[in-house]
Chain A
Amino acid sequence: ETGVTQTPRHLVMGMTNKKSLKCEQHLGHNAMYWYKQSAKKPLELMFVYNFKEQTENNSVPSRFSPECPNSSHLFLHLHTLQPEDSALYLCASSLDRGTHEAFFGQGTRLTVV
């Protein structure tokens, strides 16, 4: 257990659905991240938040919308996804950006049908 919790663990959604992924940490970390992991590509950074402010958007399509209401919670809102968006979505947190260990959640396995 790393102290980073993601829900749900599995999600199946249609291309017209709207859903949200949730990530929570109570480690006192200030930075939170969303990564996408698919079979064809390595871990791809999507978004970085530091002290609730977005500091990185790695050219992610607008159908993915992050939200960070406080340093402990991070959401990823999904709408009108495509089948190629099916992947494992991993949340991570670290004490500060970059130069500290990143603690990962268990991930949400997303399937878009």
Chain B
Amino acid sequence: GENVEQHPSTLSVQEGDSAVIKCTYSDSASNYFPWYKQELGKRPQLIIDIRSNVGEKKDQRIAVTLNKTAKHFSLHITETQPEDSAVYFCAPITGGGNKLTFGTGTQLKVEL
């Protein structure tokens, strides 16, 4: 089956620092790479996504970079704020485009 791994599993940063979370996948046919944020007690929500025809995408303080050759993509958060504290999941499409396979999640804590 598809293998999706995230690193690190937990990440603690000081407010204002940058955070980077990496997602490694095994399905070479994957062509859609989203990141979801799940705050405590809430549902997962899409924060940014990228398709395989581009290498980087930015949206204000958030960016995603893709390396299809190495089969990994990363979430970058700059100038972190306390409200960025949450669990982040990558969810590359797998199974011939049939489903999103969620990674193991990264607990990000932004400390004051």
Contacts and interface: CB of A to CB of B under 8 A. Distances in A.
Interface of A: 2, 33, 35, 42-45, 48, 55-56, 90, 97-99, 101-102, 104-107
Contacts of A33: 99-100
A107 B42 CA distance: 9
B82 interface: no
B31 A104 contact: no
Contact of B98 (A43, A44, A97, A105): A97
Q: Which of B43, B91, B93, B103 has the most CB of A within 10 A?
A: B43
Nearest to A105: B43
Nearest to B34: A101
B99 A101 contact: no
A106 B46 contact: no
Interface residues of B, number: 24
A90 B43 contact: yes
Contacts of B43: 2, 90, 104-107
The DSSP consensus for interface residues of chain B is loop
Interface string B45-63: 1100101000000000000
B101 A101 contact: no
A42 B105 CA distance: 7
A98 B44 contact: no
Contacts of B45: 2, 104
Interface in B17-60: 31-32, 34, 36, 42-46, 49, 51
A55 B95 CA distance: 11
B105 A98 contact: no
Q: Which of A56, A90, A99 has the most CB of B within 10 A?
A: A99
Nearest to A6: B43
A105 to B, nearest CB: 7
B9 to A, nearest CB: 10
Contacts of B99: 33, 45, 48, 56, 97-98
A97 B100 CA distance: 9
Contacts of B31: 99
A43 B97 contact: no
